[in-house]
Amino acid sequence: MPHHAPDLTPLLSPGRIGPVQLDNRVVMSAMDMNLSIDGVIEEEDVEHFVSRARGGTGMIITGCCSVGYPAGSTSTKEPGLSSDHFIPGLKALADGVHAGGSKLCVQMVHHGKVARIDTVSDRPLQVASVPEGAYDMSALADNTPTELGKMGAVTGGKKPTYHEVTHDDIAEITGQYVSAARRVREAGADAVEIHCAHGYLLSGFLTRADNRRTDRYGGSLENRARFACEVIAAVKEAVGDDLAVLVRVSGREFGEEGGLSTNEAVQAAQLFQAAGADAIDVTGWGRNPFRNFTDGPLPDRLGAFVDLAGAVKEAVRIPVVTVGRVLPEIGAAAIAAGKADFVAMGRQLLADPDLVNKLRAGTPERVRPCINCYVCVQENFWDDVPVCAVNPALGNEGAAPLTLAKAPVSKKVVVVGAGPSGLEVARIATQRGHRVTVVDKTDRLGGTLWFSALTTPANYPLLEWLRTETARLGVDIRLSTEATPALIAELAPDAVVIATGAVRERPAIPGGDLPHVHTGDTMRALMTGVGDTSGQAWYLRLAGRLGKLTGLTKTPARVAALTRRILPVGKDVVVIGGSLVGLELAEFLAERGRNVTLLHDEQQLGLPMALPRRWTAVRHAKEAGVTIHRHARAVRITEHAVEFDEAVTGKRGEVLDTKRSSAPASMVIMAAGVSPAAPLAQRFGEMVPEVHVVGDAGSVDYIQGAIHTAWKVASAL
Ligand SMILES: Cc1cc2nc3c(=O)[nH]c(=O)nc-3n(C[C@H](O)[C@H](O)[C@H](O)COP(=O)(O)O)c2cc1C
Ligand code: SF4
């Protein structure tokens, strides 16, 4: 099939926001890094942003900076804007970003009802109206005590109290915004972004559900937008055209009644324009973070808010920014279609700081893709520095050059296993001047990554990227090739890297060896027709058919689509083990009309998934109709059922009793019992000078573990 490269010209053409001229239309969306100390921007923070500036990004927006620091702040690790002693840090950042060839916009925030530092300091949270009722927090059932402890520690375990801001408070906070903007100007930055979204103070005024006031700041939309408009006008008056003034607003709030509607957002944007805004940055927000976080602000849908931006753009003259999993081709198309003028990228720029340079060079395929795993943002729940599953240099920019530095001697390296860790080792080792051969006994690249893409399509671009990069670098990849001692002896490498993945066991219970009981390995064989299908029965014929089809196409997306029509799986399925793989498989099969029971021997499902994604995955599984049993242990498998013991728990989760139950099963999938194993390490240890183990073979930590261990090993080879 001929490959038509998307036209990215709209994205790469210059643009203007108020007084600021940008080289291109890609803006780095605000993301807090929690690297400041007591409100002061530190060197690591500067490096983080500067590397994105050097990467060609048109403008960098900082994470939230607090206008009243420490009052109204959510963390002591967020930059403060409330005193002149914060200016040198800001200036270092502005200078660095300018030297890197980009522009700097500082996001100005009062966190309102999420100002955790106010709670820590026994100050009431500043709000439009005291919240009525609490969120549905049932999702926390899938959090570990450690995670809950870390979240609680951020507020010192204290309960929030609230204060409805008075007119004097409004005047004072408006003044804080103005002083903050003046400091930003003094530091030499180019723009400010006034945060009027994500539930913070100004957005709490804007949203009907959070504002029940009867004064001139409550009631009609015009009244609810008044506080934000006063801030915009005062800031604009103070800084004139020295700074561009962007305003961030939700194009829609998701999840609960009374959230901001798109109609209201459009009207608000018009009022903001009239008040002096130079651009509107249209985000989206799920009102209950425990339920809707993956609707917004971090959507799991590609280009999720483009149409919301489009609605705003129709109603205003000033530039509009869109955000939310905007891939380059989606952003270019949105601009071409007149739905946005600029594209903000968040996570994609965490995953690859050099995105714009790679687009400019005509090599979009070289952009390391964000896989929407939410590992980065999880750290924000407890105020830690984001880490990126696919880019170990995030928050540690010095790690990236190590993956490019030429090794003192060029070694012959054999990598066993063409999964994510093996391919990543091969990529980096080759860059560093080693001669690398990868062998894999299966007929396809990707190992577990390939299979994970069946249920998690966002993983597939990472495999495509690893495939493209290893091909570009000329890595010698030998598929359908087993790493036998004879082969190792023949290749005579200086170093062997074992990247063979985890092992999956059959359940050691009566009936565990019945032919309708599958492990991850036999499931793979069923889906693809490749691998060990010995001992399987009637559905193997179907599997063979599916296997042939998938063998032809070889993309997980195609297989996932095919399995909506043909799936070699009976009607009643019991999945044993509700960790990452089990939970996703259960949802996958339930969506395909199977009656799925999920047995999980612990409380928390989906533990290896980062927080917001875990909550969403559990919700999706439930919505797809999966019957979930927690604290449930399979004790016997028969031809038609799985018998299990389920704990009867008390109010605080204590086990009171167990009860024996049974679930119908024409197929059983064993998704527990995954463990690391690297038997080849020992076997080859005697044959080669250096043996390393990476990825799940060493420790089952999925994609993040695969990529991070690969960097460590390959940078030191
Ligand atoms: C680690 C992290 C921190 C974030 N911090 C902020 C923030 O400080 N202010 C803000 O307005 N949005 C914040 N966001 C939201 C992003 O600006 C962006 O709107 C969102 O991630 C969706 O874009 P994306 O899909 O390109 O990541 C954060 C996102 C991430 C991943
Ligand atoms: S951690 Fe995951 S979601 Fe966050 S930027 Fe990296 S790949 Fe994307």
Give per-residue pLDDT as tens, 178-207. 999 999 999 999 999 999 999 999 999 999
Per CATH, the number for 9-399 is 3.20.20.70
Q: How far is CA 139 from the centre of its chain?
A: 18
Q: Cβ atoms within 10 A of the Cβ of 97, count?
A: 27
pLDDT tens column, 286-327:
999 889 999 999 999 999 999 999 999 999 999 999 999 999
The domain made up of 511-672 is a member of CATH 3.30.70.260: no
Which ligand lies nearest to the CA atom of residue 702 in the structure? 2
The kind and range of the H/E element at 415 are: strand 412-416
pLDDT tens column, 71-80:
999 999 999 9
Residue 551 pLDDT: 57
- Where does CATH 3.50.50.60 sit in the chain? 511-672
Q: What share of the chain is helix, strand, coil (3-state, %, to 5)?
A: 40, 20, 40
Among protein residues, the one whose CA lies closest to atom 7 of ligand 2: 370
Which ligand lies nearest to the CA atom of residue 105 in the structure? 1
- Where does CATH 3.40.50.720 sit in the chain? 403-503+676-716
Q: Is the pLDDT of residue 676 over 60?
A: yes
Question: pTM of the predicted model, to two decimals?
Answer: 0.95
- Cα–ligand 1 centroid distance for 585 (angstroms): 29
Q: In terms of Cα–Cα distance, which of 701, 611, 628, 535 is closest to 293?
A: 611
Token look-up 């004064």 returns 215
Q: In terms of Cα–Cα distance, which of 502, 539, 534, 519 is closest to 585?
A: 519
CA distance 190 to 554: 48
Q: Is the pLDDT of residue 554 over 90?
A: no
- Where does CATH 3.20.20.70 sit in the chain? 9-399
350 CA closest ligand 2 atom index: 5
pLDDT tens column, 2-47:
456 789 999 999 999 999 999 999 999 999 999 999 999 999 999 9
Q: Degrees (nearest 5) of the Cα angle 524, 527, 529?
A: 90
Which ligand lies nearest to the CA atom of residue 368 in the structure? 2
CA distance 110 to 115: 8
Confidence of residue 697 (pLDDT cuts 50, 70, 90): very high
Residue 543 pLDDT: 52
Q: In terms of Cα–Cα distance, which of 307, 324, 236 is closest to 278?
A: 236
Q: How far is CA 191 from the centre of its chain?
A: 27
Q: In terms of Cα–Cα distance, which of 479, 436, 427, 486 is closest to 707?
A: 427
Give phi and psi for 401, each to the nearest 5: -60, -30
The answer to whether the CB of 389 is under 6 A from ligand 2 is yes
CATH topology for 403-503+676-716? Rossmann fold (3.40.50)
193 CA closest ligand 1 atom index: 11
Q: In terms of Cα–Cα distance, which of 187, 653, 694 is closest to 447?
A: 694
The answer to whether the CB of 349 is under 6 A from ligand 2 is no
Residue 1 pLDDT: 38
Among protein residues, the one whose CA lies closest to atom 2 of ligand 2: 373
pLDDT tens column, 445-462:
999 898 888 889 999 999
Which of 52, 372, 708 maximizes ligand 2 atoms within 8 Å of its Cβ, making it the mutation to test the pocket?
A: 372
360, two tokens = 């400019």
The kind and range of the H/E element at 622 are: helix 611-623
CA distance 560 to 567: 9
Q: In terms of Cα–Cα distance, which of 335, 378, 563, 373 is closest to 461?
A: 373
The kind and range of the H/E element at 322 are: strand 320-322
Highest-scoring range by mean pLDDT, 133-147, 246-260, 495-509: 246-260
Confidence of residue 535 (pLDDT cuts 50, 70, 90): very low
336, two tokens = 């071409």
Question: Can you tell me the mean pLDDT for 499-517?
Answer: 88
- Cα–ligand 1 centroid distance for 346 (angstroms): 6
Name the strands in the sheet holding 435-439, side by side, starting at the edge strand that comes first in the sequence. 476-478, 435-439, 412-416, 495-498, 690-693
Which ligand lies nearest to the CA atom of residue 250 in the structure? 1
Q: Degrees (nearest 5) of the Cα angle 298, 456, 459?
A: 80
Among protein residues, the one whose CA lies closest to atom 4 of ligand 2: 376
DSSP state letters, 108-134: EE--GGG-HHHHHTTPPEEESS---S-
- Cα–ligand 2 centroid distance for 568 (angstroms): 33
